[in-house]
Structure 1
Amino acid sequence: MTLAVQSPVAGKTVPMSEVPDPVFAQAMVGPGLAVQPSGEGRQTAVAPVDGTVVTLHPHAFVVQGEDGRGVLVHLGIDTVKQKGEGFTLHVVKGEEVRAGQPLVEWDPSEVAKAGYSPIVPVVALDANPDALSALLTGADVAPGDAIFVWED
């Protein structure tokens, strides 16, 4: 089964290897792409796929499809240290969501001002890197644009 994974935020796609965190850069939790957010002010991160919100923190969430595949979105690096400050949740854990649905409001420029990278890793959890194709590296994307395809 083919799953098109969408960008949760507006920005420019970059290879996961450029994420300033070894867990993501070395694809320890899974392969994917990252998005360097663009624009100023508060933005809304949207669901990358249809499914259920199985993990929800102010700075990160996982949406799991009916087929069991989960996509992790991490809003910035080390943003857990912000203890939720500046993040507004629009969903609850266990909620069914559609791709493109608003999940979390945040401000990448505030993350940067706090001394953290606002880059957004989008991870195909526990996927084989060979299962991903059509990785849209170096592209300007809007929320909801497909950034890679995950083959089952």
Structure 2
Amino acid sequence: MPGTAVPMSEVPDPVFAQAMVGPGVAVEPGGGEQEAVAPIDGTVVTLHPHAFVVAGEDGRGVLVHLGIDTVKQKGEGFTLHVVKGETVRAGQPLIRWNPDAVRAAGYSPVVPVVALDAPAEGLSELLTGGAVAAGEQLFVWD
């Protein structure tokens, strides 16, 4: 989604900030309704209103978590466009949501994008700042 890339260490959640589930990049989304898109070609292996994992053919999974503590919203304000097990293409819209509504509910709308179970040194071309366009590559998993 469009926004600003921020280092994972700045995410206001220790699980993400300390890369406990893997390294990656976070995006501070712009305002208004947004479409969260598939980060890679693959299969939706986990799907919740606030988060999803897409696994590529090589088995590598990428987690996209829409906001921090947004599980507490119990799906309110999130519209799923896919189902678990569906094959998707990079850039395909998966979930519609509104970061402004997340802010208004008292949660951070920052979006961690995590290379699951990857070693920290396994990522290159990692964006750590600046503007990000929808579907832009955030890192390369070596």
TM-score over 0.5 for the pair: yes
Gaps of 5+ in 1: 1-8
From 71, 76, 79, the counterpart of 1:80 = 71
Compute the RMSD of aligned alpha carbons: 0.5
Gaps of 5+ in 2: none
> Partners of 2:135 and 2:50 in 1: how far apart?
19
Local SS of the residue matching 1:92: coil
Report the equivalent of 1:121. Answer: 112
Identity of matched residues, %: 77
1:10, CA displacement in angstroms?
A: 0.7
Deviations 1:42-90 (A, max 9, x none): 1110000000000000000000000000000000000000000000000
Which amino acid is the alignment partner of residue 13 of structure 2? D
> Partners of 1:17 and 1:41 in 2: how far apart?
25
1:143, CA displacement in angstroms?
A: 1.1
Query: Do structure 1's residue 11 and structure 2's residue 22 form an aligned pair?
Result: no
> Partners of 2:6 and 2:33 in 1: how far apart?
21
Query: Do structure 1's residue 37 and structure 2's residue 29 form an aligned pair?
Result: yes
Query: Do structure 1's residue 135 and structure 2's residue 126 form an aligned pair?
Result: yes
Query: Do structure 1's residue 97 and structure 2's residue 88 form an aligned pair?
Result: yes
Using the size of structure 2 for normalisation, the TM-score is 0.99
1:26, CA displacement in angstroms?
A: 0.3
Report the equivalent of 1:61. Answer: 52
1:99, CA displacement in angstroms?
A: 0.2
Deviations 1:7-34 (A, max 9, x none): xx11000000000000000000000000
> Partners of 1:71 and 1:19 in 2: how far apart?
17
Report the equivalent of 1:49. Answer: 40
Runs of 4+ more than 4 Å apart: none
> Partners of 1:87 and 1:75 in 2: how far apart?
9
What is the number of residues matched between the two proteins? Answer: 142
